[in-house]
Amino acid sequence: IARQVCQALEAAHARGVVHRDLKPENVFICRKRDADFVKVLDFGISKVRAADAEQVRVTKTGQLVGTPLYMSPEQARGELDVDHRADVYALGVMLFEMLSGAPPFDGPSPASVLVKALTTPAPSLRGVAGVPSTVADVVARALAKDPELRPQSVTDFVLALRSERPESLLPETRAMAVVTPR
């Protein structure tokens, strides 16, 4: 599933599109020709990197967009120049949740989740049953507060996972990003 999500994001990022709201609810698993096929949906708040502000108005300037549990620290700070590494962070959150059963940051309100994402180091997956320390380290890098410390692309992220534990990955499959109109 993670590899296919990465493939879909690679396709979007190659076209200059940053999802900005990657979360489990936006990842659909379909059955196609006796195989699971992942679709990444809902690019409703995506950002087109090369678009001029007058051409594309997805959100108001400075408005927080995204789902707090999966929102990168730079999104939570309201930074205007959020890039593809915000999607790497969200993918790290999703993998953390898939492997541990809980998101890395949680709280009673969206604001409390954002405060933790901004100020608290992400918990480690080391010691979680069945999670190799090398995989825990790759996910920890994806959850870095500083985008410069994260894998610099979803390609780098999946390559790091593949090199750390190749037997845990599914055979090569295809995935797609689906932009749905609102």
- 21 a catalytic residue: yes
Which stretches does DSSP call E strand in the chain? 17-18, 27-32, 35-40, 47-48, 176-177
30 forms beta bridges with 37
Strand order in the sheet with 27-32: 27-32, 35-40, 176-177
Check 21, 36, 52, 146 and give the catalytic one: 21
SS3 106: coil
User: Who contacts 41 (Cβ-Cβ below 8 Å, separation ≥6)?
Assistant: 26, 27, 28, 178, 180
Contact 23, 70 (CB under 8 A): yes
Residues involved in catalysis:
21
